[in-house]
Structure 1
Amino acid sequence: MQNWPLQLRLFKKPRFIPLRYRVVLANACMLILLLGVLIITLVWFQNHSIRQQLEQRGKAIAQSLVATSTKALLTYDYITLEQFANQAAQDPNILYVVVHDKENRVAGFSNRPDLQGKKLTDKISHGAVSATSPLVQRFDTESGSQPGLDVALPVFLPDSMSRWGTIRVGLSLTSMYRQIQQTIWIILGIGIVALITGTVISFLGAQRVTRSLGELVWATMDMAKGNFTHTIGIKTGDEVEVLAANFAVMTKEIVAHQERQEEQLKEIQRLQDYTEKLMITMADGLMSVDMKGTVVTINPAARTLLGLSPINGIEGKNIAAILGESSQLVLLVQEIIHQPAPVSHREIEIRKDAEVQTILLGSSILHGAKGNRLEIILNLHDITELKKLEARIRQSERLAGLGTLAAGMAHEIRNPLSAIKTFVQLLPRKIDKPGFLEKFNRTVPRETERINVLVEELLELSRIPRYEYATTDINELLRQSVDAVEEDLQRTNVEYHQDLQDNLPLIQADSNQLIKAFNNLIRNAIQAMPDGGRLTTRIFYEEFADDGKQPITQTNGRIIIIFQDTGQGISPKELQQIFNPFFTTKDSGTGLGLPITHKVITEHGGRIDVESKKGQGTKFTIQLPIDEKISVLTPSSPGLL
């Protein structure tokens, strides 16, 4: 444990300084700073105090000399003044005593009789004899070893402002500096002891803290290497113990989080493997294209459907460069890129070698975290064989329908033909029989007209539509249809109710054809209620929502028309055949009314649905689109299917 700072320094970075050394160095610097401030402060105060004392002492000595030397100055008694100066200078702390007369000449200089009567020209002397008040000046001797203070006191005559001389006392500062130096050494000694003691205490205290921190450092180093099993046992009773406890909790959370991440990574890898295998094995083609048209992913089935090589890299290339600008798939991808909603389902054709394949394409948009569109996911399903099968089924249904039609026509035409044939055969034998010709003329034209009506209805059902579309009010059409059968309603005791929505949008329609379709439905309802009942019609508008079953173009909405009766109802088996030609549950009729109605509605771009239960009535629901132009669905060939 004692070598961990060196190892950590090598592990982390070359200039690592252990915390304990930083603490000791900081404490030592703080103690040195405090010691320096203390020395400077004490020296300044001591220097100031001792100097004030020396100045006061010098002034007292000068004042005393002024009192004793004034008479001698007045009488120019230089000998007495010399004696006073020598006596005063006997104090070892007094360097000199000088007495200047009125003319600033030396009247007495301690231990320097040779200067008597001379004028001193040095800067200190000049300042002293020029002062009119007590003056203290610091000076250094010529050797520089005797610094001192020059205290000058001017001498004035009693009761006069006339200056009569100057008394100067030179005091030595050597004792003061010696005392200050002793004080500095004492403070330094105490400071060094305090510094050593504080450093030792700081080192011990820092070692106590850093030992625990060192254990935490080792734990972090183990965690950096991936070892989260390090156990921390710090019992210091302070913040370090709290830090260690929190570190242990954090370590456990990291371990738990790491385990969860490993489990999630395994799950992600499993899902990735599953997705890759699913993409490889699925029969449908799957590919993703980013919003720039670049292929991101593509599975083998999609490569096969598009006739692409299973080896060459497709990912990362533009789909237009791969399939060509004129490809229906490329055009569809560009359409999805430039419109907000993806195409739900669309049939496209792809030419593969000399064969044209029909592909059912579905798409969805992959969004990012911020809702931005990232990729287009395309699902390609080959429905070529399904289309061929549908064509064969339609052919079979067409042949079956033609068979049904032929059977119905034979049945419907046989009865009037039988009657006509009978009368024609009896004509040679009974032509002279009274009443026979009258009966012949009544029956044969009637049966012939019956065949003619049947042929007209068949032509109406099978011919290519030639409708005249115009802006039409659907409420008015229904009123006209009801007016045409009003007598039949009253005769059969059928109660009629209608619920028409006001301000319906106008539609483009052939009024005559729609009235014909409405009349067929109303007459069927009346015939289904021979003992009376209730017929209800409703018309309302609703917003159009594409459910994938509506065979119409883009519209804003649709008009719903409902015919509901309380008649005998239709069984589920019969309900599947009501729109087939010649199917009828009535004793009379050709069975072509509902097929014609179905044809009229679908040619107007709408649809007709029926709901019925035996004994509970029937409900026909017609949906007509709202659009400026109706797309007329023209049959591929004249006929019923």
Structure 2
Amino acid sequence: MQNWPLQLRLFRKPRFIPLRYRVVLASAGMLILLLGVLLLTLVWFQNRSIRHQLEQRGKAIAQSLVATSTKALLNYDYITLEQFANRAAQDPNILYVVVHDKEHRVAGFSNRPELQGQKLTDAISLDAVATTFPLVQRFEEGFGSQPGLDVALPVFLPDSTNRWGTIRVGLSLTSMYRQIRQTIWIIAGIGMVALFTGTIISVLGAQRVTRSLGELVWATKDVAEGNFTYKVGVKTGDEVEVLAANFAVMTKEILEHQERQGEQLKEIQRLQDYTEKLMITMADGLLSVDMKGTVVTINPAARTLLGLSSVNGVEGKNIAAILGESCQLVSLVQKIIHQSAAVAHREIEITKEPESQTILVGSSILHGDQGQPLEIILNLHDITELKKLEARIRQSERLAGLGTLAAGMAHEIRNPLSAIKTFVQLLPRKVDKPGFLEKFNRTVPRETERINFLVDELLELSRLPRYEFAATDINGLLRQAIDTTEEELQRCNIEYQQDLQDKLPPVQADSNQLIKAFNNLIRNAIQAMPTGGQLTIRTFIAESTDSGKRASGNTDSKVVIIFQDTGQGIASKELKQIFNPFFTTKDAGTGLGLAITHKVVTEHGGLIEAESKKEQGTMFTIQLPLDDTISVQAVSSLELI
């Protein structure tokens, strides 16, 4: 309540003052200021000039008195000195003449004989008798009760520095003030005439200008009310006419712009209606969330996918409050908000009765004019049926692969079983034969161990993954794998080179499983270079080349690991089969090492590829995602039923 007067003053409209009055007042103010400056300047110069003349006159009178009074001062002839003073003071502009002897006493004072022989103690007299050079002092009320100038001149003996007295002449300033007042009145009179004349001229000039401006003002009012057909007829031949012409052009452009804006508004309304219809009819879910986690837009398909009622409004509510903190979609949105960057397409599980749904989520960020993130746009695509179809296809592939797997197993197991069968059949007849039992004990356990090793490899290949993911240093794992196989590399005369990128970010991985894959690839390279060669291991970060991902802020970075050898190489027709179980180009081995390596890499969400040319070596390239949320595919195309 106490601040109401202040608020009223703040919101009060400025007082309207017509332009003609402003022009007249401004002109009058300029004239008054000019006359005031002129008056002060003239008075100052006149005051300075008259005072200088008085000072020169006083000094001349004092010099004359010094010349005539020196002898009388030497003889202490006070009567003569007083006569000189009275005679000099007869001038009406001289207030007084005072002669001081060398003891500073009054030797003669014009028209004041009673002061003869006394010492004057006023400040002007004391300064006058003490000076050794001509001194001019101003006083407002002196001995004559008038303002004036006191001119003091010391008297020295001829050809001597001995001071013998002081001559003082008091000059009246009354005439000077009278001349200054006359000047002021003259200038004031001329100023009043000039002010009156200037005001009349400014009034006439202001009327000429403001009449045309007034017409423009009324035109602007009509335009502000929506009447763009108002015609301005100003013919002044100056800037006002140019202003009126520009106003007419501007009015015409505003009218055209208004018509275009109306058409654009209709187009925007049509696009808005089209967008609303599209969002309603599209099968994919569309959801937009601001950077605080508040739902801005959601279409019916998204409501259905997320199990939200179509009646209850969710716009304006926090997505965590709607879906719950445990929902994978909420975690994904919170991650995007924290990173201020979109993420790659991600599969999430939405729990619904009677079964959960798998949804593929794509994201992008809507930025403002200054590049600041405004909203997160999420595209939700139901891939539940696609996942079921993939599972059926994998089931068919597993069933189809069982034949190949069974054939490979039969081939690998037949040889050791044949040897064991032969020894078992010969055992009753040759048990007593010298050396037979020794050969039996050497061959049967070896072949049995061979079958056991094959079974372990098959179990490793077909076992469901039970991985423990943690932040893993890939460079450290590679150095550990090199340390494990270093002796074997040196024994085979293989030089190895490590080109590992510094400060490589950690990868979410199971280090125990991943190092198996690295060891398999290194041993595969050793077997490919029986006579020696060179093995190069490199790591680096690879960014996505997808311009769409870069535009949305999702770079989809990966760690790339390369194993390159200079061995025998693999023929192109065999290269396509190297990851199949029991396929091998070597005389020894089961052909399961690369199959297990492929399984480990894919279960880390990665990709492994091979490039090779006969007699030119082989290069294996592994790509592992840098994202901290790895979707582990626990299903292998070689799973056993």
Q: Give the TM bin, normalised by the shorter chain.
A: 0.5 to 0.7
For 2:592, the aligned partner's letter is: L
Partner of 1:244: 244
TM-score, normalised relative to structure 2? 0.53
Alpha-carbon spacing, 1:569–1:226, altered in 2? closer, same or farther (3 Å):
farther
For these two proteins, the number of residue pairs brought into alignment is: 443
**Aligned 1:428-577 pairs, distance under 5 A:** 451-462=451-462, 474-475=478-479, 477-478=481-482, 480-489=484-493, 496=495, 498-501=497-500, 509=512, 513=516, 516-526=519-529, 534-540=533-539, 542=540, 560-565=561-566, 567-571=568-572, 574-577=574-577
Alpha-carbon spacing, 1:341–1:16, altered in 2? closer, same or farther (3 Å):
closer
What do the CA deviations read for 1:245-301 (whole angstroms, capped 9, x no partner)? Answer: 332343344345445544543443343233222212221111223455443222111
In 1, Cα distance between equivalents of 2:514 and 2:281: 56
What do the CA deviations read for 1:153-181 (whole angstroms, capped 9, x no partner)? Answer: xxxxxxxxxxxxxxxxxxxxxxxxxxxxx
Partner of 2:50: none
What do the CA deviations read for 1:513-547 (whole angstroms, capped 9, x no partner)? Answer: 467414432144327xxxx785331244x458799
Aligned-pair CA distance for 1:581: 0.6
Aligned-pair CA distance for 1:638: 13
What do the CA deviations read for 1:452-473 (whole angstroms, capped 9, x no partner)? Answer: 5534443454457899999966
Q: Percent identity among equivalent residues?
A: 66
DSSP 3-state at the match of 1:355: coil
For 2:478, the aligned partner's letter is: I
In 2, Cα distance between equivalents of 1:600 and 1:330: 30
Alpha-carbon spacing, 1:485–1:497, altered in 2? closer, same or farther (3 Å):
closer
DSSP 3-state at the match of 2:244: helix
DSSP 3-state at the match of 2:356: strand
Question: What's the RMSD between the two structures over aligned residues?
Answer: 5.8
Alpha-carbon spacing, 1:370–1:406, altered in 2? closer, same or farther (3 Å):
same
What do the CA deviations read for 1:335-376 (whole angstroms, capped 9, x no partner)? Answer: 655664455444333344433222233444444445555443
Alpha-carbon spacing, 1:487–1:378, altered in 2? closer, same or farther (3 Å):
closer
Aligned-pair CA distance for 1:619: 0.4
Partner of 1:385: 385
DSSP 3-state at the match of 1:538: strand
In 2, Cα distance between equivalents of 1:323 and 1:391: 28
**Aligned 1:279-358 pairs, distance under 5 A:** 279-320=279-320, 322-323=322-323, 327-330=327-330, 332-333=332-333, 340-341=340-341, 344-358=344-358
**Aligned 1:607-618 pairs, distance under 5 A:** 608-613=608-613, 616-618=616-618
Partner of 1:584: 584
For 2:537, the aligned partner's letter is: R
In 2, Cα distance between equivalents of 1:630 and 1:343: 11
Alpha-carbon spacing, 1:574–1:218, altered in 2? closer, same or farther (3 Å):
farther
Maintained 8 Å contact 2:563/2:621 = yes
Alpha-carbon spacing, 1:435–1:547, altered in 2? closer, same or farther (3 Å):
farther
In 2, Cα distance between equivalents of 1:596 and 1:623: 16
Aligned-pair CA distance for 1:392: 2.0
For 2:497, the aligned partner's letter is: Q
DSSP 3-state at the match of 2:348: strand
Alpha-carbon spacing, 1:223–1:614, altered in 2? closer, same or farther (3 Å):
farther
For 2:479, the aligned partner's letter is: N
**Aligned 1:390-405 pairs, distance under 5 A:** 390-405=390-405
Maintained 8 Å contact 1:521/1:563 = no
What do the CA deviations read for 1:33-60 (whole angstroms, capped 9, x no partner)? Answer: 99xxxxxxxxxxxxxxxxxxxxxxxxxx
Alpha-carbon spacing, 1:438–1:544, altered in 2? closer, same or farther (3 Å):
same
What do the CA deviations read for 1:28-85 (whole angstroms, capped 9, x no partner)? Answer: x99xx99xxxxxxxxxxxxxxxxxxxxxxxxxxxxxxxxxxxxxxxxxxxxxxxxxxx
In 1, Cα distance between equivalents of 2:380 and 2:464: 36
Aligned-pair CA distance for 1:319: 4.2
DSSP 3-state at the match of 1:569: coil
In 1, Cα distance between equivalents of 2:398 and 2:581: 12
For 2:485, the aligned partner's letter is: S
Partner of 1:177: none
Aligned-pair CA distance for 1:409: 0.9
In 1, Cα distance between equivalents of 2:514 and 2:203: 108
Partner of 1:185: none
Partner of 2:85: none
Maintained 8 Å contact 1:608/1:622 = yes
For 1:299, the aligned partner's letter is: N
For 1:396, the aligned partner's letter is: S
In 2, Cα distance between equivalents of 1:391 and 1:288: 32
Q: Which one is further off, 293-302 or 215-224? A: 215-224
In 2, Cα distance between equivalents of 1:410 and 1:224: 95
Aligned-pair CA distance for 1:26: 6.4
Partner of 1:96: none
In 2, Cα distance between equivalents of 1:632 and 1:366: 27
Give 5+ residue unaligned stretches, structure 1: 1-12, 35-190, 490-494, 549-555
For 2:535, the aligned partner's letter is: T
Aligned-pair CA distance for 1:232: 4.6
Maintained 8 Å contact 1:286/1:302 = yes
What do the CA deviations read for 1:99-146 (whole angstroms, capped 9, x no partner)? Answer: xxxxxxxxxxxxxxxxxxxxxxxxxxxxxxxxxxxxxxxxxxxxxxxx
Give 5+ residue unaligned stretches, structure 2: 1-12, 33-192, 547-556
In 2, Cα distance between equivalents of 1:303 and 1:503: 47
In 1, Cα distance between equivalents of 2:626 and 2:324: 38
For 1:618, the aligned partner's letter is: T
Partner of 1:135: none
TM-score, normalised relative to structure 1? 0.53
DSSP 3-state at the match of 1:349: strand
What do the CA deviations read for 1:374-394 (whole angstroms, capped 9, x no partner)? Answer: 443332222221222222223
